[in-house]
Amino acid sequence: MRKNNAFQRIVILLFFFFIIIFNTAYSQYVETGQDPSRLRWKQIVTKNFQIIYPVEIEEEAIRASRSLEKVYLYVSYSLHHEPKKISVILHPQSSVSNAFVVWAPKRVEFYTIPDQDIYPQNWIDQLVIHEFRHVVQLDKLNQGLTKILYFLLGQQAIGAVAGLYLPLWFLEGDAVVTETALSHTGRGRLPEFTMPLRTQVLQRKIYSYEKAYFGSFRDFVPNYYYLGYQLVGYTRNRYPSEVWSKSVDNAARRPYNPMPFNQGIKRSTGLSKWKLYDSCMYFLRNDWRLQQDSTTFSTRVDTIHFNDTKTFTSYRFPQYLSDGKVIALKSGLGDIQQYVLTGPGNKEKTIFVPGYFNPRMLSASHNKIVWAEYGFDKRWSNRIYSNLIVFNADKRINQRIKLTRKKHLFAPAFSKDGSMIAAVESKGNGRYCISVFETKSGRLLKEIFHPENDYPIMPAWDSEGSKLYTIMLDDDGKRIDEISISKAEFKTIFRSGYMDISQPVASSDHVFFRSVYSGIDNIYAFRFKDSSVYQVTSVKYGAFDPCLNRSQDTLLFSSYTANGYQISRIPLDTANWISLSDIKDQSVKLYPELAKQELGIPLPVLNKDTVAEGLTIKRYRKGTHLFYLHSWAPLYINANTYEVNSGITVFSQNKLSTAISKLAYLYNYSDRTGTTEGSFTYKGWFPVLSIAASRGQRLGLDTTGNDAVFKFKEDKLTLSASVPLNLTRGKYGQGITSSVYNYTSSFVRNDETPSYFKTGVRNIFEYDIRGFRYLKMAPRDLLPKWGQTFRLNYRQSPFGKFDYGNSFVGQAALLFPGILKHHSLRLDFGGQINENGSYIFSNYLLYPRGYFSQVNQRFSRIIAEYRLPLCYPDWKVGPILYLKRIKGLLFYDYGDGRNKGSSRYYNSTGIELTGDMHLFNFVAPIELGARGIYFPHDQYFRIEFLFNIIFSAL
């Protein structure tokens, strides 16, 4: 019985293992895009790191090298593992602040422009601690049986074991714990970071482990970062700090066990991960209740309640317009981001849907609002701009103006009279400034640089338009500076240090801002006349986005609840304000004990002249770094055709993700034939260029009637060039890709090839253009509300002995909203014409459901689909299944085929019933269900099984 169980475990392991490998191979492993080809690169090589960076940001690269070497032993300490050398790539031209670690190919990537909602630590230092902890986690897996898998499969084995067994809540929670314990700040010290989970537990209930980890379409569930910090931090507070180190060891050494990480937790704590989760949540709920009971809250807060209170919906960044109405950014489980105007009776009206952006603030003056919105480079995905958008909300105008182009601008703010806009700007070389623009023309009026390049955050104007009040960040934390615009002089008026402050708003007597002194995010005020600080609001869960009315006697803000952020207001009565000296922090703190378990606080590196051990700086030549062998397999793997066969495959992808290569040998045991193939794709120039070649034997069937088989030789060469363009603009994601291909095949006889076998060269040219345009989607949407796709394809065989004639394919699909919210109607039209050839091209159009692809000279089809969600059950069946959503699809497919004077019609109709779920606690969602097909012509009914793993949802 034990042997059978072990065998079943291995079968399940291999099933998911190769699913992950197929997914990574199909997506060219982890390829995050490219930087502009004109960039020149350098590298800093130290004892433990290689930092690759564009020459313009050498100062930031040197800081990264110092910080990485300084934290090496500190970050490695509590996991008891010192990782091997790794490369770190810096990208300075993306306005999306981010970083990640990937393991196939193994590297770290930093996007170096800081976020405006940054906690009080240098951005590079934040990334260094958090991302290097991920390096330690993953490198630690390379031991035991996993190391044997590494020898067999390369780096993809480490990534597959991590994807199978290390839950995302551990990977991210452990990294947040580390950034918190090894610094004076970190997200674990921020009330905003604990707020979503605290609010859910206190206002709603403790959800099941599966719901907390995998999320829900019915309720808002805080993501695995929030969950992970609490679970990892709680466990290290209550049990020996080696719990997580030993659990990772167990996952690495026993990947044949279906739940080795959980087994490691149980060995150290005596609890399964489910019981550990329950223990953590009950502990937090009790302590959060004590915090709430010991805190005095504001009683004069007036909250604007809207019609839909059941679905999680947020209203952020409320601003007064000139007529006294309030505009805010609405979003939620059922809604994409949209600006709404509130009217009498708390009714709302959508006035504009913005494009893609990461909202941090909104500013209004008179009837105009301004925000920063992403601008995507047409070709280079690692160059993303952030430009100023002005919208006139006057119902007679409703005009959107793009004020700037190809800039990296953030947190714009109108002057009080609306004539000027101040925004934080990244100059692309590691320098930052506050740029002031004329609203009417977009003309740049002034750039204000801090002499030490301290980072400015969310500028706010005074009432005269001559000064700015701005949060500034340096190595000692945050402060508020008063900036003289005419003199470009900075004067510090208040320093909060490592206590987070954000979102300043200036009045004639005060600067209001958000801060964390009470252990809950609230609004505070700095008084000019005596430099004193007061707490203005005291809400249960969190107050954000302060805004003053014109008479400056009412404060508008967003207050967090379990249903989302709600617009609230409070009269400004200084008699009810609390002096900073009287404020007590009653929050639940896991981080003091976590800090005691570490070696100390390594950053910042105070001596800026410190040089990392073994540091050398030299040029990084793109042409000599085209190959980086990272993974292999003792099998032939073709992810494009989902083929696995005997043979060997080797994968290469360089560190800048510009060159992707594959070398493979396929041996077919049944045919006793072998083929060698190789491919190379280069994405570092404006067109994407590819070449693929193969040489080997194939098996042919004797057509003279004796059913004998024979072998022949085939050489293939494929050349292609394509130009993928990102044309995203406004609320629609859109793009177009143009491609040209040349396929050359040479057929040669060998000793056993019959004489009638046709030899020679087959040469095919293919021209393809395809595009899409989709409206942004809300989490509950099954498809975009509006969308269009098209494809035009032409193939010909002008040369060689094999005449395929010509083939033309046209296809278009249209998406429309359905009858109810989140319903969708899709119409798909397509046609293919093959003509004038001795041979016929393959079909590019799918036939109606239930039919196999068939040979036709002309084929046209129409597909109609209606999708709808049926329910969001959040059902759990032990550790086997967690069902998030059940959905339906009604379809009717029609096809018309013509071949050599005969016609055939294909039509089918039916229904699909599927569920979005997680099986065996596998992190990628799975779509599982059945399709019932009825064939009207044959009066026949058939049921098909549907299964799909949705890796794109991760």
Domains of the chain: 1-30+622-684 (no CATH), 31-294+592-619 (1.10.390), 302-584 (2.120.10.30)
The token pair that represents 174 in the structure block: 């452990």
Helix ranges restricted to H, 547-603 = 591-596
Please tell me the predicted confidence (pLDDT) of residue 27: 43
Residue 417 carries which side chain, given as an amino acid letter?
A: D
Please tell me the predicted confidence (pLDDT) of residue 305: 74
672, 662 contact by CB (below 8 A): no
The token pair that represents 761 in the structure block: 């060269």
Angle at 846 between CA 843 and CA 850, to 5 degrees: 125
C-alpha–C-alpha distance, residues 108 and 938, integer Å: 58
C-alpha–C-alpha distance, residues 264 and 272, integer Å: 9
Respond yes or no on whether the N-terminal peptide bond of residue 105 is cis (omega within 30° of 0). yes
Position 24 pLDDT exceeds 70: no
- Residue 445 neighbours by CB under 8 Å, 6+ apart: 420, 436, 437, 438
142, 83 contact by CB (below 8 A): no
C-alpha–C-alpha distance, residues 617 and 43, integer Å: 6
12, 260 contact by CB (below 8 A): no
User: Pairing mode, if any, of strands 384-392 and 368-376?
Assistant: antiparallel
Please tell me the predicted confidence (pLDDT) of residue 307: 59
C-alpha–C-alpha distance, residues 171 and 183, integer Å: 19
Please tell me the predicted confidence (pLDDT) of residue 3: 46
Please tell me the predicted confidence (pLDDT) of residue 12: 54
CA dist 493 to 79, 358, 466, 478, Å? 42, 29, 16, 11
- The closest of 214, 207, 217, 342 to 277, measured between CA atoms, is 207
How sure is the predictor about 16, in pLDDT bands with cuts at 50, 70 and 90?
low
Average pLDDT rounded to a whole number, residues 52-78: 97
DSSP 8-state assignment for residue 114: P
Cβ burial, residue 180 (10 Å; 0-12/13-18/19+) = buried
If one compares 801 and 584, the residue with the highest pLDDT of the two is 584
Average pLDDT rounded to a whole number, residues 124-131: 98
Helix ranges restricted to H, 103-242 = 123-139, 144-153, 155-165, 168-181, 191-199, 209-214, 224-238
**Range with the poorest average pLDDT among 2-11, 278-287, 295-304, 558-567:** 2-11
- The closest of 481, 478, 482 to 499, measured between CA atoms, is 478
Average pLDDT rounded to a whole number, residues 678-705: 91
How sure is the predictor about 462, in pLDDT bands with cuts at 50, 70 and 90?
very high
The token pair that represents 827 in the structure block: 């119409």
How sure is the predictor about 346, in pLDDT bands with cuts at 50, 70 and 90?
confident
pTM of the model: 0.95
How sure is the predictor about 615, in pLDDT bands with cuts at 50, 70 and 90?
confident
Q: What is the number of helices (H) and of strands (E) in the chain?
A: 13, 48
How sure is the predictor about 645, in pLDDT bands with cuts at 50, 70 and 90?
confident
Please tell me the predicted confidence (pLDDT) of residue 21: 54
CA dist 61 to 176, 496, 605, Å? 23, 28, 14
Position 714 pLDDT exceeds 50: yes
699, 754 contact by CB (below 8 A): no
C-alpha 56: how far from its chain's center?
A: 27
Laid out side by side, the sheet with 384-392 consists of: 363-365, 368-376, 384-392, 399-402
Q: Is the Cα dihedral 756, 759, 765, 766 positive or negative?
A: positive
Burial letters 270-280, b for 16+ CB under 10 A, else e: ebbbeebbebb
Please tell me the predicted confidence (pLDDT) of residue 5: 54
* 3-state SS, residue 285: helix
